[in-house]
Amino acid sequence: MKAKDVQVFPIALSTLVLRSRTWDRLKFEIEYGLQRGTTANSYLIQGEKIALFDPPGESFTDIFLQTLTQRLDPKTLDYLILGHVNPNRGTTLKALLAIAPQITLVCSNPAAQSLEQILDDQTFTLKVIKSGDSLDLGQGHQLEFIPTPNPRFPDQLCTYDPVTQILFTDKLFGAHVCSDQVLDEGWTVYEEDRRYYFDCLLAPSAKQITTALEKLSSKSAVLYAPCHGPLVRYGLTELTSKYQQWLSTQQTQDLKVALIYASAYGNTATLAQAIARGITKAGVGVESINAEVAEPDEIKAAITQSAGFIFGSPTLGGHAPTPIQTALGITLANADKSQLTGVFGSFGWSGEAIDLLETKFRDAGFRFGFEAIRVKFKPTDQVLKTCEEAGTDFAQTLKKAKKARQPKASVNESQSARTEQALGRIVGSNCIVTTQQGELKGAMLASWVAQATFSPPGLTISVAKERAIESFLFTDAAFVLNILPEGNHLGLMKHFLKPFSPGEDRFNGVKTSTANNGAPILEDALAYLECRVINRLECGDHWVFYATTEQGKVLREGVTAVHHRKSGRYY
C-alpha cells in the first residue's frame, strides 16, 4: 500500500489543486464502502489576494501543511474558504491558524456556528456568506458564493470563479476513489464510483440536491472541483445529466420514508446514511431530515406524506436533544398508526434517547420495521452493514403492505400472461453466491446464472437491487459460485431462502471452507467456481454482473439442481 501524500497540480489560471491522497479506506462511513481510498481536495487561488479552499482532516494535517508551506508563506494567505465544516477538519484549521492567524475564514452561517464550537479556544476573523455574496481576489477572480444546504451538510457552500469557469462543488460530483489521475480523462471508468457515492451520500437528500443543481445551473462551468476524487472536465455534461436522472428517480418513488435524526458527533448521521442506503436500494424513496435545522412544517409535511418514518438520536446528558423531542411531538400529533416506524442512535455511556423514542412509539401503537439499533461510540463496518440491511427490510415491509392492499389481477389468457408463462420456461441452475470482505460475509441463492464467455471463461449473474449481497459485488470484488447438486440441494436452499435478521450470520450451521479468494466454499455443493466481478450493468430492478472464473473444482459426482418456474413474474 502506498503511503499518504499530497499531489499538487495546476488546473487553471493562478489555480492549484492540492490532493491529499490515501489509498486505504479513510473512515467507517458507508460512502467509503468500496474501499478504493479517497482524495481530500483543497484548492489554492493566487490573485492579488490569496484564497485556500477546504484544508483536509486531521489524518492529513502534517503532510498538507508541509506541502502548502513549500509553495508559499502561509502568512501571505488572505482567505480560507470552507465548503463545509466538521470536527475532523478542526485539527488542521487550528494548526493553520497557529502559523497564519491573519487568515479570514469564509463560510456559511451554519458553518460559522460550528466553528464557534470547534475553535472555541481560538480567536479568528470570520466572514459569513449569504446567497449572492461575492469576494474579489483581483486579476478577475471575483468569486461568487452559492449556499447549497442539505440535511447531512446544512452548511454546504459552493463557489464559482468566472475567470476560470471553475465551480467548486464541495460534496457534489465527487467520488471516493484514489488514483494518480487528477482530471477525469476516460471518465466512464469512474461511473461506478460516482453512482455509489451518490446513492450513499446524496440520494437521501434528493429534494435539496435538486434545488442545489438548479442554483448551480446558472454558472457556465467548464470544470467541477469537488472535495473528493478526480476533477470533472471531460464528463461534466454527462455527469450532470446522470445526477438529474438519479434525482428524478428518487423523487418520483411512490413510497417514501421520512428519516429524521440529530447527531452530536456525526456517528448517528453515519448510521442514518447506512439505513437510507438500504431503503433506496429496495426502490423506496427517502426524505432525510436533520432535526437540528429543519422547520416544524417541514417535519410535519414529511411525516404526513410518508408510508413510514424512522428516528435517530444521540443521547446527551441522559436525554434526547431538544430538536428530536420537538420532532417527536410533531410526529405523534400527525402520524397515522398504519405507518411503520424504527429507531436508532449512537451514544457514549448510555442510550436513554433511543429507549425514549422506542417507548413513545410503541405506547402509541406504531409497528416497528426493525429492532432498535443501539451503537456505542463509532459504528464499524459490521454495524453499517446491519443498518443497511435494516433499511432494506423496512422498505420491503412497506412494499409488501402496499402490494397486499392492491386488488389481485384476474388470470386470463392475455398476451401479457402468455408472455410471462413463456418467460418462466427459461431454466437456471440452483447456486449459492458467497462472498467475504474483511469480517463481513454475504450469501444469496441464485438461479439466474449463465455462462457468458469461453475466453476468458466467464459468467453472468442477476441480482435484485435490494439483496444484501449486492453491496459486496462491485468491480474487482471476489466471490464463490457454489453449484448445488440435484437430490441433495433442498437443505441449503431452505437455509439461504429463510429471512435473516439484519447482521445475522448467514453461515451459522453450514459447513464451509475458505477459497483462495477469501470467500466461503459450501462443502455440500456439487462444484464451485472462484470468480471476480469485471463489470456490472443496471437492468431495471436487478443488477447483472459479468465475472470471470479464476479456478474451480467439482466436489462430488452428480448433476446440477435446476430451477423450473411457471411464470416469469417471480423467481
CB 256 within 8 A of CB 394: no
- pTM to 2 decimal places: 0.91
Read off the amino acid at residue 399: K
Q: Which residue has the cell 459486496?
A: 472
Longest dimension (CA), the chain: 80
CB 23 within 8 A of CB 178: yes
Q: Return the closest-CA partner of residue 308 out of 201, 401, 386, 210.
A: 401
CA angle 203, 461, 568 (to 5 degrees): 90
CB 448 within 8 A of CB 520: no
> In three state form, how does the secondary structure of 274-332 look?
HHHHHHHHCCCEEEEEECCCCCHHHHHHHHHCCCEEEEECCCECCECCHHHHHHHHHHH
Q: What domains can you pick out in the chain, each with its CATH number?
A: 5-250 (3.60.15.10), 253-402 (3.40.50.360), 425-563 (2.30.110.10)
455 DSSP assignment: T
**3-state class (DSSP) for residue 29:** coil
Q: Return the closest-CA partner of residue 342 out of 297, 294, 283, 276.
A: 276
What does each of the 571 residues of the chain score in pLDDT, given as a tens digit? 789 999 999 999 999 999 999 999 888 899 999 999 999 999 999 999 999 999 999 999 999 999 999 999 999 999 999 999 998 899 999 999 999 999 999 999 999 999 999 998 889 999 999 989 999 999 999 999 999 999 999 999 999 999 999 999 999 999 999 999 999 999 999 999 999 999 999 999 999 999 999 999 999 999 999 999 999 999 999 999 999 999 999 999 999 999 999 998 899 999 999 999 999 999 999 999 999 999 999 999 999 999 999 999 999 999 999 999 999 999 999 999 999 999 999 998 889 999 999 999 999 999 999 999 999 999 999 999 999 999 999 999 999 999 888 876 555 557 778 898 999 999 999 999 999 998 899 999 999 999 999 999 999 999 999 999 999 999 999 999 999 999 989 999 999 999 898 989 999 999 999 999 999 999 999 999 999 999 999 999 999 999 999 999 999 999 999 999 889 888 8
Q: How far apart are CA 420 and CA 426, in angstroms?
A: 11
CB 370 within 8 A of CB 390: yes
**3-state class (DSSP) for residue 195:** helix
Q: Return the closest-CA partner of residue 298 out of 108, 84, 110, 151.
A: 151
Q: How far apart are CA 461 and CA 549, in angstroms?
A: 12
Provide CB contacts within 8 A for 270, sequence distance 6+: 28, 29, 30, 263, 346, 378, 379, 384
